[in-house]
Structure formats: C-alpha cells, structure tokens
Structure 1
Amino acid sequence: MAGLHKKRKADLVNEGDDDSVETSDTENASSSEDLSSSESDPGNEKDPEDDDIVNIDFEFFDPTDIDFHGLKSLLRTYLDGEEFGCSELVETIIKQKSVGTTVKTSEDDDPIGIITALNLQRYHQLGFPKEVRLFLLKHCQDKELKAKLQEVWDQAGTALVISERLINCPPQLASPLQHALFDEEIPWATEDEPSEELRNSFKFERFLFVSRVYQDNLEAPKPSGPGDKKGKKKKANKQTATMVYARPEDEFYHRHSSWSYTFPVTSRPVQKDELQPLRLVMLLSPDQAARARKELYKVVGNVALNQPEAAAGAT
C-alpha cells in the first residue's frame, strides 16, 4: 500500500467557537465523535481564546467495511437531498482499497472525512455514476459547458474526485489529504496494482471535482425606469458576490481549472443574511491539479512532508 498516510497521526489545532463536529452540510450531522476541549485550572487566569482551541489527533486509514454507515452518513447529501445510490457509492469506495483515504480520530470511530478518485469508465455500469451525471447535467445552464461535461464523462481516463469532510475540520487537513491521493496513492496504483487493467484504470487524464462553496446572497440592484426624477435611466451598481470556499484546496483547484460552473443548493431555505450554498463543478488536467496543489502546499503547508513515515513510504 502507499506508505506515508495510512494510520499516521496529524496533530492539528482546531480553532472555533463550537467544539462539536459538524458535517459538510449541517443537515448531515450524525457522526459519533466526542471532541471536547481540554480542561483548565479554574484558579488560574487564562486567555479567553483558550476556550476555542481543541487539540485533536487525526488519523488516516484505508476505507474498510466498518466505515460503511459512517461514510453513508457523510455522503448521503452528495446530491443535495436527491435520492441516489449512496450505499452503492460507499461500497465502491470501500472495495477500491488501493486508492482512497478516510480521516478519523481513532480507528474505531466513524470517518469525518473521505477522499478518493473513481474511474467513471470502470464503474459506468453501476447506478450511482449515472445518477451523478444526470444531476450535474440538469443543473448546468450553459449549453457549451453541458456539452463539455457530457464529453469528458464518457471519455476514458476521467476520474470523479469524491472529497467530503466535516465542515469544521481544520484547514491543515487539506494538504496531507491531497498529497495522499494525488502524490502517493494514484502513482502507486499505476505501478503496483496486480493487473495491467487495474494499473491502467488509475492512469487518469483529467479530474472532475464536485465541491461545496458559498456566496453572498446578494440581489443585484435594478436600474431605475424612465420615470425617475431626471428622466434618465440610472446605471445599476454592479455587485460582485464573494465566493467562500468550504475547503482550502478548492480555491486553488478552481483557479487552475479548465472550466467550471456553479449552481445553487435548493434543498434547504436560505435566509436573506445567510451565505448561499452552491455546488462548484470543475475539470482539471493532472498538470493543472499538480500546479494547484503546489500553490496549496506553499500557502497552507503540508504536514505530510514532515512526517518520519514519509521517507519510508516513498520507497
């Protein structure tokens, strides 16, 4: 197996007002982790911000059968509330042991994150790829992009990247997870899988990402009509909505993508002052994805490269 990340601890600090763990969609909070802040001596003065710091050990594992229910809980809103073959998707992730990583706080806990890449041609006879394809095409309003999506979906060498984790996982997890998948597991599989067919199935030529982002819920101002006081039409003030990336890596992948599109999540109501949840679909070549990861590692860092196991796993 690919070496460095399996059963490797990442000592990270999670800062936030809420010590609980939430899922990537607030409707999906059902994991069993109990992550609490460390107790302090009430007799000593302390910085108020100390209450917001939680020290957590994260461990990376191969997906296994014991993860089935945890992964199903994590991925059940993958199509934003629409019914799809979630069990089939989870079973596929678990069976593909050579490529795929779960994040846990211990081996016996439910996964709080998953990243893997599935060859769409390899699994094209299953139900869930067809359901995901229809979902993405239905929400693509641009005819040119819809044609591009259809084309790459049916081409050999297209990987669907499944990447979900709890929304308040620390951003430092981004780099080692990307490193594990793209810099270790996929290269390992293309060389060391037992059959040529399997080795070739991981020689990806493009990566399709389906991610979660958020945007200011702005209503564009309307131009004044001909009946304004001066009898002239006023120009609308252009407002650019700010995109907020739930996971740090998505900003870099988006920046380097060949093409992308977004569409709103309508499975739950959004208040006027809330951020609008969106789905971001983007396509990257291996070179584009590598450049994005290089920038990510520079900005966020990559604890995977500092682990003692890295050198041993690279052999």
Structure 2
Amino acid sequence: MNQSNKNKRNLGLDQKSDDKSDDPVKRSKQNETNDNEIVEDLSDLEKSEIDDEEEYDEDEEDDKLSDKEISIEFTAHDPIESDFHGIRCLLQQLWLKENIDISELTELVMKETITTVLKQSIDEDESQDEEEHNGDGDDDDSVFGVISIIPFNSHFNDRNCVQQLKQVLLSYLPKDNDILRKLSHSNTKCALIIHERFVNLPPKISVPCYQQLLSELKQSSTSNKFEFDHIIMISKLSKYRNDIIYTNAEDEIFSERADAQFEYSVAKQSDTHSIDWNDDDKTFEPFRKLHLLTKQRWIETINVLKDFV
C-alpha cells in the first residue's frame, strides 16, 4: 500500500499569485503527473550578502525582491517509512505538549488509515543527485504536509494514542457542549481530521488534498472501517483581543459552517507566543479550536471550498 512509486499522486495544483482559475485538476492514485506550480511570494526574502564596497539602492533592491516568485511543484504520496520524522514533526506542532504518544500516532497515520503526504516534486536526475548526497536517499524534511482521517470506532479505539486523543479533547470540553456529547455517545460515529502543513503553503493547496481524501473514502465505502456520521476538526489559531488569525486560512470556512465548536488556549504549552510582526508587534495567544460538522455538511464545505480560497 505504501510503495512510493506506485502511489505517487498528482494534486492538480496551480498556485501562481496571478492565477484566477478556481478549477482544481483531479488526481488519481496512479502514476499521473501534471506540471502545475505552487508559487510563493518572496516579499520577505532576505537580501544576499553584498560586498561592503558595492553601492546599491536599498529601496530599488527591495522593489526587485518583492516582485520575485519561485515555482515549487508538489506531489501527493502514500506515506513511506522515511516520512516518519517529517510526519511526526507536523503532528507535534498540532499537539504540542499534550499527553499523546506522537510516535504511535505517527505509525497509525502512516500504516492504518487513509493518509496523504505532500512532497516537493523532484525529477529523476535531481532525485539521483540527492540520493548520492544523502547516502541512503532518505530525506525526513521532504514532508511539507499531511492529511489523514482517524475514525473513533472499534477498528482504532484499541490503540493507546487514539484513547489519548479522545481524553485530551474531552478534558477541554464543557459538559454542555455538543462535541463532548457526540464523542461520549456510543451510538454516534465520529472521525477526526488531521490536516497539518508548513505555514507558508497557501490555503488553495487544501482543496485537492480534501478532495483526494473524499475520493479515497468513497473507494473504502464497502468497508465499515471508515464509517462515520460526524467530523471533528482541529484548527490552530492565534488571538489578540478580537483579532483572530487562522494558521490554515481555509479552516475559517469550516468554522463558519460548523454545527458546534469550542476553543481553548495552548499558551502554557507553547515555548513562545505567536507574533504578528506586521501589526504593531501585537502578541497573539495560541489557541486550538474544535469544530463539529455532520458528514454531509463537511462534504458540502469541501465541494465549495475552492470558491473561497
């Protein structure tokens, strides 16, 4: 299942800053490739060192840098063994210092549930050069994002990390919250969505990721392993008074369509507060926000997500 060549997937991403198209290209789990690009604005690119004797206009240099773009292609894969560290780091940034066995959770995500990882696309020549440079070809830092679903049911509940996940969520929820009732009720089938990525990746990248997840869930519809009627999502956000910044901007769309939600501070677990340097150096407090959506509502939101990001 987790052979990288077999399961390389094209996500149909076209993220140029001047791109106006909202139609993502569908990807399959076969060896399809589509040379689309993700483009990142480098307005904050650091200047390269310049010889002390060389004179230049700083304002002119800044203008040149702000107009620069770089193109990075991403491909989607089923996780492989060498992705362990990269996935673990992404999961750790979500759960911080919670009492959760992140290593066991990483193994679960990699081997037992539906999971997609994002990596930078590298052509064969570059891949061979990297393998020679790295020795064994493993590059733990190549995982740029991960999306996964963990149903809270008999197929997964026997895992220690899943029980820890549930206990952490329940510990923050008040007794009158609908999320707690759904998690605690044995007749309600809930599934947890984990979607983590590098913070500088644009929200539009989430559209094909979610659509790929939906596609794989449909392929698994004959199995009761992935049966659920409610989705629980966890968003990372930062708050300063009434100002709220979502780490993954598309999470705000899910929040607006959620049936229930609850947020809690994780400031005591963070080594540093989140800082918005472009807004008078305000100190934003880190939070987590739980969203509860029915399965149908979640699917509807995914289908309209491309119109908002």
Hey, what does 2:295 align to over in structure 1?
286
- In the alignment, is residue 104 of structure 1 matched against residue 119 of structure 2? yes
Hey, what does 1:275 align to over in structure 2?
284
For the residue of structure 1 that corresponds to 2:181, the secondary structure is helix
Tell me how many residue pairs correspond in the alignment: 245
Shift of 1:149: 4.5
Taking structure 1 as the reference length, the TM-score comes to 0.69
Paired with 2:173 and 2:79, the residues of 1 have a C-alpha distance of: 32
Runs of 4+ residues deviating >6 angstroms:
none
> Out of 114, 122, 131, which is 2:164 matched to?
131
For the residue of structure 2 that corresponds to 1:299, the secondary structure is coil
Equivalent residue runs for 1:39-58 within 5 Å: 47-51=64-68, 53-58=69-74
RMSD: 2.9
Gap runs ≥5 in structure 2:
2-6, 10-26, 49-55, 123-137, 276-280
* Relative contact order higher in (CA < 8 Å, ≥ 6 apart): 1
Q: 1:52-73: per-residue Cα shift (whole Å, max 9, x none)?
A: x221111110112121111112
> Out of 132, 147, 150, which is 2:183 matched to?
150
For the residue of structure 1 that corresponds to 2:211, the secondary structure is helix
Q: Using the aligned pairs only, state the percent identity.
A: 24
Hey, what does 2:251 align to over in structure 1?
250
Q: 1:8-39: per-residue Cα shift (whole Å, max 9, x none)?
A: 5541111244569xxxxxxxxxxxxxxx9xxx
Contact 2:174 2:180 in 1 (8 A): no
For the residue of structure 1 that corresponds to 2:94, the secondary structure is coil
- In the alignment, is residue 190 of structure 1 matched against residue 221 of structure 2? yes
Paired with 1:275 and 1:165, the residues of 2 have a C-alpha distance of: 20
Q: 1:191-221: per-residue Cα shift (whole Å, max 9, x none)?
A: 4xxxxxxx112232111111212222x2xxx
Shift of 1:297: 1.3
Paired with 2:93 and 2:308, the residues of 1 have a C-alpha distance of: 30
Cα 1:64–1:288 change in 2 (3 A) is same
Paired with 1:134 and 1:213, the residues of 2 have a C-alpha distance of: 21
Contact 2:99 2:168 in 1 (8 A): no
Cα 1:273–1:253 change in 2 (3 A) is same
Hey, what does 1:203 align to over in structure 2?
227
Hey, what does 1:163 align to over in structure 2?
195
Hey, what does 2:78 align to over in structure 1?
62
Hey, what does 2:307 align to over in structure 1?
298
Taking structure 2 as the reference length, the TM-score comes to 0.70
